[in-house]
A and B are shown apart, each in its own frame.
Chain A
Amino acid sequence: MAEPLVPCPFCRSTETEKRSDFGTSLMVRLHYCRDCHSHFEAIKWGDRAAKLDLPQFLEER
């Protein structure tokens, strides 16, 4: 199965690639953005599918 797309948290670009299966903790992967040249971490299971307890203004993101 293809890796899910991880958008860059800095610039929203989807031109990203996974660099490592482990970041600063077990729960995150390390990614790299080819557009803004930033490294960033993302939680492995993602949160978009999981329902977080948030007020509406943050739900809309």
Chain B
Amino acid sequence: MSIATTPAFESTEGMSEPCARGLRQILLACADTKLLLGYHYGEWTFGTPELEAAVASCSLAQGELGHVRLLHALLSKHFGDDPDALMDKRAATDFANVGFLDRTVVDWAGFVAMNYVVDLAVTRVLHSMQGSTFKPIHMSVDKMLDEERYHLHHGRGWFRTLATRGGETKTALERQAELALRSVAEWLGPADDHDDRALVSAGVKRADNQTIYRALCDDVERLAAAVGTRVQAPAPTNFSGWTSANRRIGGGGPDEEILFHLRGTKNEVFKLN
């Protein structure tokens, strides 16, 4: 499947400045979100409602961290980013992950919202780059999409399970899914994001982020309706203060405690070269 009628790129050479900048930002946004997904999935290898979910969560974490490596390799090769610096040297406010992951995921409804809604959002963005005119991304995107099928299968299964239990379980799920959806809307950004438009007009992405958000809402609303629940989160209308580097309206980033554990700061002295 190809989205390209415009010339293909073997590297960023020949790309317009907004296009190259937009590509780095969206790759970094996906990598940061996957890094935080990996961290939170990893935290849920204990305390799940059933043992199989803990095993699955461990596997989901492995998958996401593998995807981070693929994305960091692209960022390193084409933009000169240092993967170690991306992990260890940035301020929290330089992270471009979905804000839903900034804090501890406190309960299983939050986990399911993360697994279904947030994971799906990144998958939708990657899907929009399948067959991209930026050819170096092809192999990585295909591999990630293949593996994300299992992540999504797991998230949707648990979404169905919690929704059909009704009562407080269903209410908690609806609330967390709406929080996740609202956070994703913020992450995807405003309709007038020039860098995102440049990516679409160059054929690097097939759809702009607004279209991706609508498709995501459609996915979520469809499943919610099928299991007798309702999840709706209007996208923000005022994006003042939003930047593609941070992807949050009010700034901020992951909790320092999360970054401390994620980076293994307390074991820094034992790090291998």
Q: Contact residues of A with B, CB < 8 Å?
A: 9-12, 36, 47, 52-55, 57-58, 61
Contacts and interface: CB of A to CB of B under 8 A. Distances in A.
A59 to B, nearest CB: 9
Contacts of A36: 139
A35 B146 CA distance: 19
Contacts of B215: 57
Nearest to B223: A55
Contacts of A47: 149-150
A54 B157 CA distance: 10
Interface residues of B, number: 23
B127 A54 contact: no
B139 A61 contact: no
B69 interface: no
A21 to B, nearest CB: 19
B153 interface: yes
Contacts of B156: 53-54
Contacts of B219: 55
Dominant SS among interface residues on chain B: helix
B142 A10 contact: yes
Nearest to B216: A55
Contacts of B222: 55
Nearest to A52: B153
23 contacts: A9-B142, A9-B146, A9-B147, A10-B140, A10-B143, A11-B139, A52-B149, A52-B152, A52-B153, A53-B153, A53-B156, A53-B157, A53-B160, A54-B149, A54-B153, A55-B152, A55-B223, A58-B123, A58-B127, A58-B152, A61-B145, A61-B146, A61-B149
